[in-house]
Amino acid sequence: MTAFLRRLAGHVARGLAMIFVVATISFFIVRNIPGDPMLALYEKLVTSGMDPAAASQAVRVAYGFYPSGSLWEQYVDYMGGLLRLDLGTSVTNPGAPVTGVLAEASKWTVLPVLAGTLLSFLVGVIMGVYAAVRRSGRLGDILAISGSLLHGVPQYVLALLLGAIFGTTLAILPTDGTADILIEPGFTPEYIGTLIEHATLPVLTYALASYGGWILAMKSSVVTVLGDDFILAAELRGMKRSIVFRYIARNAILPLFTILAISMGLLFAGAVFIERIFNYPGLGLMLIESVTNRDYALMGGAFLLITGATIVANIAADLLYTVIDPRVRSGEEAAA
Partner 1 sequence: MKRLAAVVALLGIAAASACSSSGNTNKSASGGGSAVYTTIDGTKPGIDPNGPANPFAPKGNSFSGYNAMKLAWAKNHLTDPNQFYPGIAESWEVAPDNSSITIRLQPDNKWSDGKPVTAEDVKLSLAIAYTQGSTAFALQPGAAGAAAEVTVVDDKTVKVTQDMSNPSQTFARGVLDTAVVPAHVWSSVLPADIWDKIKAARGTDAAAEAARTEITELGKKIIAHNPGKDVSAGPYVLERVNPSAALLKKNPNFYNAANVAPDAVQLLNYTGNEQVWNYLKAGKLDSAPFVAVPADTMAQIKQTPGNVVVKGYSPVAVGLAFNQSKKPYDNVHVRRGLAYLINRAEVQKIASPEGGLPAVTTTGIHQKAAAEWLGAELNNLEPYAHDVAKAEAEFKAAGLTKKDGKWTLPDGKPWKVSMHAPAGFSDWLAAQENIKSQLIDNGVDAEVVTTADFPLYQTEMAEGKYDTGFWLIALGPAPYNIFQRIYGSANGWTNIAGKVTHNAPGKNGNWMGSAEEIEVEGLGKVNPGELTAKLNSVGAEEQKDLMLQLAKVANADLPVVQMWDYVNTQFQNHSRFTGFPGDDHDLLRQPHGVWIQLGMIKKKA
Shorter beta-carbon distance to partner 1: residue 80 or 185 = 185
Check binding of 92 to partner 1 (CB under 8 A): yes
Q: Which of 23, 82, 102, 108 binds partner 1 (CB under 8 A)?
A: 108
SS3 state at 168: helix
Shorter beta-carbon distance to partner 1: residue 69 or 137 = 69
Long-range contacts for 185-189 (Cβ within 8 Å, ≥24 apart)?
none
Residue 110: is it exposed, middle or buried by C-beta count within 10 angstroms (0-12/13-18/19+)?
Answer: middle
Taking the C-alpha atoms of residue 266 and residue 310, their distance in angstroms, rounded to an integer, is 6
Taking the C-alpha atoms of residue 38 and residue 41, their distance in angstroms, rounded to an integer, is 5
SS3 state at 304: helix
User: Which residues between 305 and 334 bind partner 1 (CB under 8 A)?
Assistant: none
User: Which residues between 242 and 261 bind partner 1 (CB under 8 A)?
Assistant: none
Q: Which of 12, 13, 17, 57 binds partner 1 (CB under 8 A)?
A: 57
User: Which residues between 10 and 49 bind partner 1 (CB under 8 A)?
Assistant: 34-37, 39-40, 43-44, 46-49
**The dihedral formed by the CA atoms of 241, 246, 252 and 254, expressed in degrees to the nearest 10:** -170
Check binding of 210 to partner 1 (CB under 8 A): no
Shorter beta-carbon distance to partner 1: residue 290 or 314 = 290
SS3 state at 93: coil
**Among 265, 267, 277, 273, which residue's Cα sits nearest to residue 308?**
265
Check binding of 292 to partner 1 (CB under 8 A): yes
Interface map 159-198 toward partner 1 (x if CB under 8 A): --------xx--x---xxxxxxxxxxxxx---xx--x--x
Q: Which of 16, 17, 54, 153 binds partner 1 (CB under 8 A)?
A: 54
Cβ 10 to partner 1 shortest distance, Å:
27
